[in-house]
Amino acid sequence: MVLGTYYNDRPIVNRLCQRHHQIFYNAPAIDHVSEQIEVLYQQQQQNDRTLGVGGSDVLGGQADLSDPQNIEKLPEIWPVEDEADDICDAYKQLVGEISSMAAGLVSLRCRHERLLCLRKKISTLENPREKIQPNLVFKDGELALELKKMRILAAKLAHELEGPKEMQI
């Protein structure tokens, strides 16, 4: 009975699905959306060309130069060729200095992370009375007493193993 109902209602459901698809996914609507996406993409491409490298206005002073990725986006030579050679040379020198500073900053950040990791690892040793077993830490603990008893027993055993020596004259 259920199977019969399924076969009877299937064409109706198929027609409803087709109508829904034609209304909401018709070809002119899809073409319109694709044209809008293309226009936005072309505008973004044009903005990238006018702003400079990578779409961020690095040379305009709006980029964060503490970020090494933004420093890498700086061009090697001054982009305007009408300027004097002094400005171009000064620009090259400043780019070199800021690049070396960025490399130093990256190495300092790596070292900082490494030291924080090391601090986290040795934090268990900060307060040995609480974080390490007290009987293992101090000279008057149980472990020290047991070692002392073991040395005495080892000396007695060594004396017993030697056996009685005859007196030599």
Q: Is the pTM value of this prediction over 0.85? A: no
Please give the Cα distance from 129 to 151 (Å, whole number): 26
The pLDDT, as a whole number, for residue 51 is: 53
Q: Which two tokens stand for residue 109?
A: 């950040």
pLDDT digit of tens for each residue in the chain (169 aa)?
566 677 788 888 889 988 888 888 878 878 888 899 999 988 888 776 655 544 446 666 677 777 788 888 888 777 776 667 788 888 888 888 988 988 898 999 999 999 999 999 988 778 766 776 665 656 667 777 888 999 999 999 999 888 766 655 5
Q: Which two tokens stand for residue 5?
A: 């109902």
**The residue count for the chain:** 169
Q: Which residues of 137-153 are buried (b: 16+ CB within 10 A; e: fewer)?
A: eeeeeeeeeeeeeeeee
Residue type, 97: E
Please give the Cα distance from 101 to 120 (Å, whole number): 28
Q: For the chain, what are the domain ranges? A: 57-126, 128-161
The pLDDT, as a whole number, for residue 58 is: 65
Closest CA to 53 of 74, 38, 32: 74
In this structure, what DSSP letter does residue 167 have? P
Q: Using CB atoms within 10 A of its CB, is residue 104 exposed (0-12), middle (13-18) or buried (19+)?
A: exposed
